[in-house]
Structure 1
Amino acid sequence: MAPSLWPETWPTDHPDYPRRRMQRREWQSLNGIWEFAVAGGVEHPSAIPAWDRQIIVPFAPESVASGIDDRTLGADVWYRREIEYTRREDVRLLLHFGAVDYRARVWVDGRFVGQHEGGHTPFWFDITDALKKNREVHEIAVWAHDEPQGLAQPRGKQDWQDEPHSIWYPRTTGIWQTVWLEEVPSRRLSDVRLTSHLDRWTLGFEARLYGPDRGEDLRVRLRLSVGDRLLADDLYDVQEEEVHRRVALADPGIDDSRNELLWSPDSPTLIRAEVWLLDGDQVMDEIRSYTAMRGVNLQRGRMLLNNRPYPMRLVLDQGYWPDTLMTPPSEEALIRDIELTKAAGFNGVRKHQKVEDPRYLYWADVLGLLVWEEMPSAYRFTRDSVERLTREWVEVIDRDSGHPCIVVWVPFNESWGVPDLPNVEKHRSFVQSLYHLTRTLDPSRPVVGNDGWESTATDILTIHDYESDPARLLARYARTPGGGLPEALRSAFPAGRVITLDEHPHDGQPVVLSEFGGIACRTTDEPGGAWGYSVTGSSQELRATYEQLLSAVHESEMFAGFCYTQLTDTFQEANGLFTAQREPKFDIPAMHRATRGVRQHPAEVPVEAVDREPTS
């Protein structure tokens, strides 16, 4: 286990704690055994014919780890469990769900308390008033509805067919992230946000209040520190239920002390934040959080981190595990993935078609890993899909914008859900609208409107190209007389698509090869073979192909970064650098050297990659 951000132990150091950016002392995990039933057409948990199974939450019922292991479930599943709790004066009990796919309704002691739609974002209900009085044992019931073939709902890599095909994986139905209880005061801090402004060497601080207004003389105290070094300890008056302030830090100039305070993958310095809501000298609420000083900018075709050019060396990360699907098997598994990613020479990941568990983002903050966050796609363009995708994407940005590890937002991938961008204006308008909405909600990060091709609104021009011949890949994107980017944009058609739409030509944005490679390794002892965009016959061949492809990408000098496909094998898609069990397919130091562009002797094994038709 990596070291905690906090030197002393809080209950939030528990591996199940789901919200490290806004920690409170009083909480309880509800992960574990729940009663489970499959029943459609039922309006209330009391009408369930039989609670005939048990499930281990938070694992989806399609997963082995859930104890259900059933991929043929219908659209409606039910959960039930009991909790022990005694109501206390002036204390509210909140019931939190990390994520439930796709629609959820919740009852407490038979009383309906609320509903939520969106399979990848958190929600909570204040269940205090629903708890029956004079009882210490209470019942929580949850209904989850997830259309197996619902192509108009954001589903990412979840297959709509009965068996996973091509590049899609098993479905995830119902609860798949932590369920937990939190005790809070009636009058409390509802939101705490810290945003770095590197150009002014300040931190933006925002705190919002929730609860009955009793006319208190309220103040908010903010304390910022790094190790034993105190950066700020300020008191602010509360006006109109919120506080908005800029915290000026001492600017050390251009010496080493400034660099030590900046966050980067090479030096992931985090600033601890303690926030108190005070009524006079009385502490009404206490929050622990964190932030970082770091900035992301674009300049003259380059990506900048902390005002210095910083090449993106990313790997595509699907975020799946064989027995637990989208849910990480443990916090150690999340840490291990980050450690393997960095050991292989990458400084970041493109989380593909998945809004990752917040604990992963926490450890990416702590250990130092860049993250491109991508919205899971819908696959049909309808009014419903537009409304659903937009609503959930806003919730994603709201949940994750405080993580310093996130450096790029990606609302669309490969025109999925907007399949006719070149010809249909409303498809283009949707991409453009989400691009501008994202920039409005978070102007501090670049946005890639549609990753891969058919670019219509973007801060970074991204290209997906699974050319398996390193020489052809280099010739296509090398800076040569009469060639280079203008020629590539004119003549390259990866997967038969144009890179930019005619009315939206390249305008100087940095260029990132955001998908390439996808090399599988087929050996004689593997039953059923292995799927990839190209296939090699041994680990030696895989290493040689990887080294030559990465050498071509580094040599092209066109790209401000790249993203190799992919980190691990994922079900039938066996083109990872690591197996699904996270075992390396060849020497990790060799991966590191090739990823970083360190020159080495040519591999002795000839490369004979077998082309496969790209499938997005």
Structure 2
Amino acid sequence: MEELRNEYPRPQFMRKEWKNLNGKWDFRFGHENWQEIIVPFVFQSRLSGIGSNRMCDRVTYRKTCRLSEEWKGKEILLHFGAVDYECKVFVNGRYQGKHEGGNVGFSMNITEALTWEGEEIVAEVFDPCKDETIPRGKQYWLQEPDSIWYTRTTGIWQTVWMEPVNSDRIQCLKYTPDIDNGTVRIDYSHTGNKSDCTLELDISMDEEEVARVSVSHPEMAGNITVDVFHNQIFRTSTHHGGWCWSPDNPKLFKVKAVLWRGKETADEVESYFGMRKIHTDQGMVYLNNRPFYQKLILDQGYWKDSLMTARCDEDFKKDILLAKEMGFNGCRKHQKTEDPRFLYWADRLGYIVWEEIGACVQFSDEAVRRTIDEWMEVVERDYNHPCIVTWVPLNESWGVPFISVDRRQQEFSQTLYHLLKSFDSTRLVVGNDGWEMTETDLCAIHNYDHGEKNDEKAHAKFRESLSCREELLYTYTAGRKIFVDGWKDRGQPVLLTEFGGISFAEQDDKAWGYTCIRDGAELEKEYERILDAICASDSIAGFCYTQLADVEQETNGLLTCDRVPKIRTEIIRKINDRVNKKRIRI
């Protein structure tokens, strides 16, 4: 068990030396007796070694480790991949700081607290089980999971690790591609002395050097623009071995960044980026200036024995490959900000990602602050991943239940949209996925009204509701308007971003779904019927089917919770391949 999740946790910014702290830790509920837990699996999961679903707001972790003597003289950084929800950290009894938010991680410099004789790390976690104003996503605030709500995640759920660094080091590399000009803007920051430092960047593709850039006496923060296409237009074309990133051509540029202090290496980092552009025009989404029909799968990112933490790195890769086998070109990661290792594999394998954070349930001043704070951390961490093409700050009016009439909640929706666009102009933003939208780049609609398998009247109504733009935008779904009063259709692409949810689970009385069928043959027929309705529409610019895999009682997956296909993947691919729209009528 000590070897679980031992892959490098930050693939976008890699250093050679590091120490994995996953494995056995001491753990206790509240002030109870200590017991053993396996990190990074939460106590609610079987792989943690505890597997308890008890309601407990406060837990504590403790671990003792020894550091290499070779690390002496360096600064030691302690990293937590993600801890849900609030975490205070102590090293050898000395308080090091705290972090609020369970979606992404945090780091701290613990050098001054070290003894070099054996270091004790303590993490005190506060995760209020019933607080509906924290970004909790699918984590249920009641004890037992039910319908679309799942078991809670409390505490450490991503890798904990350390690394030694020099006082002079690279802090940030941020890539903004521009395929129209064949350039990438690289923003950087470092802690070195300007007068004695040089920043060197080696950029390569397929082991061949593309560019080498050296910045002498760099400011503490700055940027450079690098021509990576060398003004050769053909390199934007996948038909000629192009260098633009896409699901069919996931080309990545490797970056080796070295910070020199005089003639000595102060820091060395390996990184990468992709040249990718996403925009909309005339009711269509364009990827790298070409019409791109998105065939997405809703992915909750849960595993049976480990909940929100993948059991191993291979699990991320397997999910992506299975989805691609079924003819999907991406996913909407639903109500979860996924581990960077998943995003790395999506970059490597060519897989579009729509990214979210877990939503609050209720609206309040604290909910607003918490949501904004976490979104800023998410964008900072994940900006460089070419796989991410869309941010989804709100879903189905969760956390803004009265957005249709409450101007303050509408302002919050607008704020999230403009805030994300101001930090990242390279991606699309969906204002409120599902319905009751304000500002948005895409009109994202949810519709589960496809009817049971023998309900011909419901079938006909569902098909009609998708038939044209007017029906899509002016048919109420779940009793909600598509746009809030005061906002209207501006010709944005229309996508059906939740539908289906067909449940098939043998001999399971607790199984839940939007509609239910009995076997694989019926699943194939129902999937085909629903996709045919989408194919017949002349106004849908992409779709996202619910869902990739079963999660607890929600048995809507095309795969079981163990990732076994319920029907052959080539059957789903054949149906998906029929939907290949190039032109959309607006």
Mean alpha-carbon deviation: is it higher for 301-310 or for 551-560?
551-560
1:123-143 deviation per Cα after TM superposition (whole angstroms, max 9, x unaligned): 0111110112xx421111110
**Cross-structure match for 1:227:** 206
The answer to whether the Cα contact below 8 Å between 1:536 and 1:542 also exists between their aligned partners in 2 is yes
The answer to whether the Cα contact below 8 Å between 2:195 and 2:217 also exists between their aligned partners in 1 is no
**Residue ranges of structure 2 left out of the alignment (5+ in a row):** 452-458, 581-586
**Cross-structure match for 2:417:** 435
**Cross-structure match for 2:255:** 273
* One-letter identity of the residue aligned with 1:253: I
In 2, the alpha carbon distance for the partners of 1:172 and 1:318 equals 14
The answer to whether the Cα contact below 8 Å between 1:58 and 1:177 also exists between their aligned partners in 2 is yes
**Cross-structure match for 1:608:** none
Q: Give, in angstroms, the shift of residue 587 of structure 1.
A: 1.6
1:100-158 deviation per Cα after TM superposition (whole angstroms, max 9, x unaligned): 000000111111111000011110111110112xx421111110110010100000000
1:280-326 deviation per Cα after TM superposition (whole angstroms, max 9, x unaligned): 32211000000011111111110000000010000000000011000
In 1, the alpha carbon distance for the partners of 2:32 and 2:479 equals 53
Could you say if the C-alpha distance between residues 378 and 238 of structure 1 is closer, same or farther in structure 2, counting changes exceeding 3 Å? farther
* One-letter identity of the residue aligned with 2:526: T
The answer to whether the Cα contact below 8 Å between 2:503 and 2:516 also exists between their aligned partners in 1 is yes
In 1, the alpha carbon distance for the partners of 2:27 and 2:225 equals 49
**Cross-structure match for 2:584:** none
1:208-242 deviation per Cα after TM superposition (whole angstroms, max 9, x unaligned): 0126x4x6421110111011321101101344312
**Cross-structure match for 1:182:** 163
In 1, the alpha carbon distance for the partners of 2:518 and 2:29 equals 44
Q: Please tell me whether residue 131 in structure 1 is matched to residue 114 in structure 2.
A: yes
The answer to whether the Cα contact below 8 Å between 2:179 and 2:244 also exists between their aligned partners in 1 is no
Q: Give, in angstroms, the shift of residue 254 of structure 1.
A: 3.3
In 1, the alpha carbon distance for the partners of 2:53 and 2:24 equals 19
Q: Give, in angstroms, the shift of residue 193 of structure 1.
A: 1.5
The answer to whether the Cα contact below 8 Å between 2:169 and 2:267 also exists between their aligned partners in 1 is yes
The answer to whether the Cα contact below 8 Å between 2:133 and 2:361 also exists between their aligned partners in 1 is yes
The answer to whether the Cα contact below 8 Å between 1:91 and 1:184 also exists between their aligned partners in 2 is yes
Give the match's secondary structure for 1:456.
Answer: coil
Alignment of 1:501-512 (within 5 A): 501-512=484-495
**Cross-structure match for 2:455:** none
Q: Give, in angstroms, the shift of residue 462 of structure 1.
A: 0.5
Could you say if the C-alpha distance between residues 149 and 126 of structure 1 is closer, same or farther in structure 2, counting changes exceeding 3 Å? same
Q: Please tell me whether residue 411 in structure 1 is matched to residue 390 in structure 2.
A: no
Alignment of 1:54-453 (within 5 A): 54-85=36-67, 88=71, 90-132=73-115, 135-210=116-191, 213=193, 216-249=195-228, 250-254=230-234, 259-453=241-435
The answer to whether the Cα contact below 8 Å between 1:237 and 1:243 also exists between their aligned partners in 2 is no
In 1, the alpha carbon distance for the partners of 2:147 and 2:181 equals 49
The answer to whether the Cα contact below 8 Å between 1:56 and 1:67 also exists between their aligned partners in 2 is yes
Give the match's secondary structure for 2:128.
Answer: coil
- Displaced runs of 4 or more, over 3 A: 86-90, 254-259
**Residue ranges of structure 1 left out of the alignment (5+ in a row):** 1-13, 40-47, 479-483, 600-616
Q: Please tell me whether residue 566 in structure 1 is matched to residue 547 in structure 2.
A: yes
**Cross-structure match for 2:481:** 498
Q: Please tell me whether residue 533 in structure 1 is matched to residue 514 in structure 2.
A: yes
TM-score (norm: length of structure 1): 0.89
Q: Give, in angstroms, the shift of residue 452 of structure 1.
A: 0.4
The answer to whether the Cα contact below 8 Å between 2:466 and 2:533 also exists between their aligned partners in 1 is no
**Number of positions where the alignment pairs a residue of Structure 1 with one of Structure 2:** 565
TM-score (norm: length of structure 2): 0.94
Q: Give, in angstroms, the shift of residue 473 of structure 1.
A: 2.2
1:147-188 deviation per Cα after TM superposition (whole angstroms, max 9, x unaligned): 010100000000000101120100000000000011111110
In 1, the alpha carbon distance for the partners of 2:442 and 2:205 equals 33
* One-letter identity of the residue aligned with 1:328: A
In 2, the alpha carbon distance for the partners of 1:210 and 1:557 equals 54
**Cross-structure match for 1:26:** 17
The answer to whether the Cα contact below 8 Å between 1:38 and 1:73 also exists between their aligned partners in 2 is no
In 2, the alpha carbon distance for the partners of 1:151 and 1:176 equals 20
Q: Give, in angstroms, the shift of residue 557 of structure 1.
A: 2.0
Q: 1:35 aligned to 26, 38, 56, which one?
A: 26
The answer to whether the Cα contact below 8 Å between 2:86 and 2:102 also exists between their aligned partners in 1 is yes
1:234-261 deviation per Cα after TM superposition (whole angstroms, max 9, x unaligned): 1013443123011012122236586521
RMSD: 1.6
* One-letter identity of the residue aligned with 1:50: N
State the identity as a percent: 43
The answer to whether the Cα contact below 8 Å between 2:6 and 2:22 also exists between their aligned partners in 1 is no
In 2, the alpha carbon distance for the partners of 1:508 and 1:414 equals 21
Could you say if the C-alpha distance between residues 349 and 95 of structure 1 is closer, same or farther in structure 2, counting changes exceeding 3 Å? same
* One-letter identity of the residue aligned with 2:561: A
Q: Give, in angstroms, the shift of residue 70 of structure 1.
A: 1.0
